[in-house]
Every structure is written in C-alpha cells, then in structure tokens.
Structure 1
Amino acid sequence: MESGAIRRRLTLGPVLLAAAGLLAFAAAGTAQAAPSSCSGEQVRTLSFASGVTRVYRQGDYICAMTLARSPGIVRAMSVSVQARGSRPAKDNGRFLHHAGPVTVHAGHRCVWIRGAVGQNSVSSGWILC
C-alpha cells in the first residue's frame, strides 16, 4: 500500500468520528425539544400545583408521564408506575419539560401512579382495577 492511501485513511477516521459526534449532539437537542409521549388512550389526568401526570392505556400496558406547568426551567421531576404485585418503573432526574414516559405491563391488575415536579407531587392510590 502506498503512503498516500495510508494518510487518506488516517485522515478519514477523525473526520468520521467528528461527524458522528455532531449527529449525536444534534439528535440530543431535538429529543429534548419535542417531548416523547405515551401511545394509547388517555385514561387519567392527575393534576397538582406545579404539573400534571397523564396516564395512558394500550391493551395490557399502562404508560405515564409527568409534565411541568412551566416548562423550560431545569428542576427535579419524576414519574413512576407500579402494577400491583410488582416493583415500580420510574424515571426521575432534573428535566426541562417532562419525566417519562414510563410503561409497565399491568394486565388486569391495579396500578399506582406517582408524579412530581419540584416540591409538589401527586399519588393516585390503586386505580384502573
């Protein structure tokens, strides 16, 4: 192999790596700008002072997400869905817009939904039995 071909290959590696990094950065920015959502029919809305937790059902699956009433400020948010007899599935952290979506297989079991934005929270008790 001649030295020109080796140099081209050595130069191409960092260029491809930089392009992949830019694509990942652009994808992360767009993912935060457009919140994900649950699929299925919305079956409950749990409102509280600083946000709302929306609950969806699609077949045997329950999905929930917590949305801030004033998006755009990074703050602690969480959402959890627990099917009776199972451990809760959770998403918590510091977010701009929403926590979740979180989905569990509930079958015909009751579920307990919790959501929080900042210091305010909501807890459903056992619902959708």
Structure 2
Amino acid sequence: MPHLVILYTPNLEAQADMGRLCRSLADTMLAQRDDGGAQVFPTGGTRVLAFAAAHYAVADDSDDHAFVYLNLRMAAGRADAVKKRIGDALTACAKVHFEPLLAQRHVGITLQIDEAPGQVYDGKIGNLHALFAAAR
C-alpha cells in the first residue's frame, strides 16, 4: 500500500491520457516526505490504477459531461499535516493534468484519501518490495 484507484467516464478516453496521469500521480506519491524527510510511501508498494466505467450517468442528460474519481487508500499512522500535504500534492498534479481539458469541457474531479485503521486481514504476496530494498 498505498493504492490510488482512478475511476473515470469513458468519454474522456481520447483526450485524457490516463496512462500519463497514472505515472504523474505515482511520481507525486513517491516524492512525498514526512516531517523527518523520509519517503512516505514505499516505492515497491506504490500503485496507481485507472479504470473507465462501463456505465455512467453524470449530472443531466448530456453525454458530454465527464467525471474522474481518485481514491487513495493508505495504511494508518501518518500525521495529519503529512496527509494534507499528500492530498494537496495529488490534487495539484491532477489539476495540471486536466487543466487543458477543463478549458474545453465540463469535468468533475474528486480526490478522496482513506486510511485502513482497523484492517482485519492484509495478505500480501510478491517480490516488488525486495527489489527496491536491494537497490538502496
């Protein structure tokens, strides 16, 4: 963890370059530091995934309206000030990415951050963390 999942209306597909947005958001997440200067999110655990909605309705009956929902899920334990900086940085990244599109059409964009305070189960399988731990 952290996992940033993006859901968006498919009427943005041709204009939004969601792959580039994913990379920009991941880079923004990896650049975050806590108050002691340590990297907030582990490189091997940082994931950004984007999915176009199969079905959608946004606002009125116009097919031109679009929406992007970004949800960051992270483990608990970070200071409130750090969480705010993370949210501000991700929002700024999304704003820069979508600014040209916002000048052309109506798009709603929401970012929410959720913590996993009382996880019941968190099973993990993989070797990404070891890859980046060895690179240090």
Same fold (TM over 0.5): no
- Between Structure 1 and Structure 2, the one with more strand by share is 1
TM-score by length of 1: 0.26
Question: 1 or 2 for the larger relative contact order (CA 8 Å, sep ≥6)?
Answer: 2
TM-score by length of 2: 0.25
